[in-house]
Structure 1
Amino acid sequence: MAERRHADLVAETTRSNAATSALAASWRRSLVKHGLDPADTRDPARVSGDDLARRRERMEPFLSVADPQLDQLYNLVGLSGCNVLLTDAQGVVLAQRVSDGDAGQFREWGLWQGADWSESAQGTNGIGTCLADGRPVTIHRDEHFHTRNIGMSCMDAPIWGPDGGLIAALDVSSARADQTERYNRLIAAQVAQTARAIETTFFRASFPDARIIVAQQDDADAAMLLAVDKDDLAIGATRAARRLLGLEREGAFRPRPAADLLGRGDDQAGGFERAERAAVTRALARADGNMSAAARALGIGRATLYRRMAKLGIGDK
């Protein structure tokens, strides 16, 4: 009876023009766009073993970065009856952490490796709706679209790749009937923090030879990082940094001077002189004031170095 009432509520809400919440929008997508039935009790579809292996192989560099963070998150929430899941951008579960005692319940629900939890397949749910909306979501019990899923709570956060595109969803699902919304909020905060940590670590690993700059940020929930090469050109940026700095939303972008992006650029007049002054000053600092060593590092003679210093006003009192 409760299942029938839930299905009726979903149908009624999606027909109402007054329902404008993000949850109602997701229910409407599930019913109208994806043609799903909230009363459908079939288990979530699972990809084949070969397909899952291929997906994991494609994501191996990312998974190797994420694994320690999944372990850490599970150590925090596992004893409270939670299952930690990591999916690809299509909502297919690639990795999980779950206790032996809770494994049976989650396997029965389909919260298992290889399962497809995209919104187009399962309707409104933590993983699928997080990926569809590109934002952290919590789907608590009867907020799920399918009646078969209303016994669970799911807290999710998206993970953005180094190219600015959506790469994964991080999920914590609870099997406890007494899970409260207040406790969900605590878990959701931890999920968001872990997702940021994975995104940041993977971004750094994707630009091993670059200097990583943390951009000025007001949004504590976003990783705003810029990868800068040896010529001080920005060659990579996280999703949040792209939005903040007005860069291309996804994909490769034209390298730009980091100083320009970060608001520290000047007009071009005298640019070479400033660059030369900076190079000489750095060489002297690295050589601890030894003129011969600084000249060798710059590839010039000692007399030339003195002349350049005099022109640039370096060392003047």
Structure 2
Amino acid sequence: MEARHLRYALALAEHQHFGRAAASLGIAQPPLSTQIAALEREVGERLFDRTARGVFPTAAGDAFLARARGALAEMSLALVDAGRAARGETGRLRLGFIGSALLDPLPGVIGRFRRTRPEVRMTLQELDSSAGSAALLAGELDVAVGRGSPRGTGAEHLVTVPIGADHLVAAVSAGHPFAGRRSVDVEQLSREPLVVSADAAGSYLRSVFEPAALDSATLARDIHTIAGLAACSAGVGLGPERMRLIARKDIWFCAVEPRFRLPDLQMSFRAADSSPTLAAFLSVVRQNCADVGGRLDELLARHPAATGRQPSPGDS
């Protein structure tokens, strides 16, 4: 039994005449009569009464047609759903990120993606860089945003794209001696109690500060905690320059001298992932991260999720 047989039966029930039904279907009357007879043999019941006044569904025909209408409607919806999934309009995207990415660029990226793909189920989870990489490699995330390139077994199977550069800044309370200064040097900072993220203390800040300064530092989960502890005079908070976007009157930010570039903010995903939903997300990232657009396009050009779909007008 094929979908056309259902359409033939529904057309015959509507027009109550083989000739008129055939004309509405764009076929000749004899093939329609043959197909309806074959359908009745397959069902094992007479579906239509042929009378001098017209052709009318039997009780079995009424029951069959009710299901046929539902089946054709479901088939139509299946085609629509398949097309939407292929365009990345439905599906699932699991995103892990470090806290500082929520200052920039993730608000613009996530906001635009949710507006243009409202029916994609998006799961967001804050994770430090190493945890995000591990979750991505384990298949628990589709995209991870962290500092530096992912490391660990399987990292060679990931695509990593830089989506933001940053430099180190210091945050102090409004009453701190550094408040009002445009910059402060590393030597001065080394004599202060520090507040840093565990991720930074165990990796890239080791090239800037002596181990003793970091070993005694207060460890914070995210940049908002760093800023809050700095405001409480618990120490000098160290974090990315985008931390300046935190609007608080009780905090002063100073550039750190010599200027120290932090590891780039990176977005990673599995090289084998050709999901249309991922492709749609990458299109939004490409548009919102124009400052690294050239490198972004270069790295994504070889990836199936990026090359399999061009951004649609609805993405803008």
Q: Give TM-score, length-normalised by structure 1.
A: 0.25
Greater gyration radius: 2
Higher strand share: 2
Q: Give TM-score, length-normalised by structure 2.
A: 0.25
